Amino acid sequence: MSRLTAEDRAMLQRTIDSYTSKTDGVPGLVCSVVDASGDVIFESASGTRAVRSALPMSHDTVFWIASCTKLLTAIAAMQLVEQAGFSYSFLSMKLKRWSEPIGIMEDANRENDIFGQPLVNQPGEKWEYGVSMDWVGRLIERVTGMSLGAYFEQKICSPLRMRKTTFCPTADMKANLAFLHERTANGQIQLRENGHLLSTPLRASSEEEASSILHSGGAGLFSTPSDYCRMCARLPAVLLELTEAPTEIIAAFLNHGTHLKTGHQLLQRETLNEMLKNQIPEHPNFARNLPPAAKPSFINSAPEMYPQPENEAQGWGLSFFKLLSDGPTGRSAGSIWWSGLANLVWWADVERGIGGVFASQILPFGDPEFFACQAAVEAQLYSALSINAGSEK
């Protein structure tokens, strides 16, 4: 694997700083990029945790990662597929009664907002983005008899040394939290007027309060980019069948899903292959011709999710978008990625053996400044790695 030079890293840092330093750009951004061995290729913490503040972004800054939570929930579910025969594609007539609207919530809250939703499609019947991963999280809790957070900690986070990934941030994590911002209609950046979207776990100050927090498998986790990269790094590694001595972080994946020192098995190779398979080949344009956003304060309207020249076919794995052809920034065909509502993106490039996270905290999703920065840095990163790889031959 080629490496970045000091000049390359300085170039990437200048690009990021150009967005975080300008008025109404990106208040703060943390980026972490790793290779298949788990080594850090590039990392940056730029800007501040709150607009017009002196609180610097750092690699310990904690983010609400929103829908980036879905990858952990999918991994947990696939562990149960292996261990307990848990099915992720089934049809249940008992769920038919949930296909009708149930009226106005008298006590509306986050949990009711999710689990009070009518069933739109029978499981396995149709692909549609929604709250299905929250239901998967609830099923994991029912099957295991554990809270989703406790299951994550025991089966994913602790074995992979992800020490700052949780539904219930500790006092130290809260002290390092990135503030949630919003971009107004005239393009100005400000702290979100109504506070944090997930205020309940941030207000919890006792075990009793923490125990009542909804563990949303679709969007409830708080984490750091470096923590998340520990998990993303494993996806390219196991599939490339690397044989060099690994760091402990990716040892489980390099040894066919089993950690050499602890004997802990995260996922089998066959299971990962199933997760990476395009699950909806009959819908190659599922992320195009999108309808206008229902809530413009949460999501910017866009005609398509991931623009590619010539409108190449696109795919969907188990909890993530899959590229079926090379991407415009340099990602290889087969790369997978997903994002979070507050403008975060993770990706894993299986062929090139690299992946990473770009993290900010801005609403609505699809922030033009954040995604322009992410695309520019990613394109420069791939270009530099390709040039360096050529010079090493």
Whether 68 and 101 have beta carbons less than 8 Å apart is answered as no
Q: Tell me the residue length of the chain.
A: 393
Q: Name the domain count of the chain.
A: 1
151 alpha carbon, distance to own chain's centre = 18
Cis before 291? omega within 30: no
Q: Which residue has the higher pLDDT, 331 or 244?
A: 331
Sign, CA dihedral 219-225-227-230, equals positive
Task: Tell me the residue type at 232.
Answer: C
pLDDT at 355 (0 to 100): 84
List Cβ neighbours of 61 (8 Å cut-off, separation of 6 or more): 28, 30, 45, 49, 176, 177, 178, 224
Is residue 169 in some structural domain? yes
Query: CA nearest 183: which of 371, 12, 14, 31?
Result: 371
Please report how the helices 69-84 and 132-144 are oriented relative to each other, as an axis angle in degrees rounded to 10. 40
Query: CA nearest 222: which of 182, 142, 163, 156?
Result: 163
Whether 162 and 230 have beta carbons less than 8 Å apart is answered as yes
Q: What's 33's domain CATH number?
A: 3.40.710.10
Is residue 104 in some structural domain? no
pLDDT at 5 (0 to 100): 96
Question: Buried b / exposed e across 214-243, counting CB within 10 Å, b at 16+?
Answer: bbbbbbbbbbbbbbbbbbbbbbbbbbeebe
Is residue 63 in some structural domain? yes
Task: Tell me the residue type at 318.
Answer: L
Whether 371 and 359 have beta carbons less than 8 Å apart is answered as no
Is residue 106 in some structural domain? no
Q: Considering just the CA atoms, what is the radius of gyration of the chain in Å?
A: 20
Residue reference for tokens 């890293």: 9
Is residue 99 in some structural domain? no
Instruction: Tell me the C-alpha distance between 347 and 154, whole Å.
Output: 24
- Whether the per-residue pLDDT at 244 is higher than 60: the answer is no
Is residue 354 in some structural domain? yes
Question: Buried b / exposed e across 307-316, counting CB within 10 Å, b at 16+?
Answer: ebeeeeebbb
pLDDT at 257 (0 to 100): 44
| Least confident residue range of 126-135, 273-282, 308-317 | 126-135
Query: CA nearest 13: which of 38, 39, 31?
Result: 31
Is residue 1 in some structural domain? no
Sign, CA dihedral 309-315-321-323, equals negative
176-216 per-position pLDDT tens digit: 999 999 999 999 999 999 999 999 999 999 989 988 899 99
Sign, CA dihedral 135-140-146-152, equals negative
To the nearest whole number, what is the mean pLDDT of the chain? 84
42-81 per-position pLDDT tens digit: 999 999 999 999 999 999 999 999 999 999 999 899 999 9
Query: CA nearest 226: which of 362, 68, 60?
Result: 60
Across-strand partners of 316?
Answer: 321
Residue reference for tokens 């507050």: 342
**Residue spans of beta strands (DSSP E) within the chain:** 28-35, 40-47, 63-64, 181-183, 189-191, 222-223, 314-316, 321-323, 336-340, 344-349, 354-359, 362-363
Is residue 103 in some structural domain? no
303-356 per-position pLDDT tens digit: 999 999 888 999 999 999 999 999 999 999 999 999 999 999 999 888 888 888
What is the domain range of residue 74? 6-86+111-119+126-233+244-391
Whether 134 and 217 have beta carbons less than 8 Å apart is answered as yes
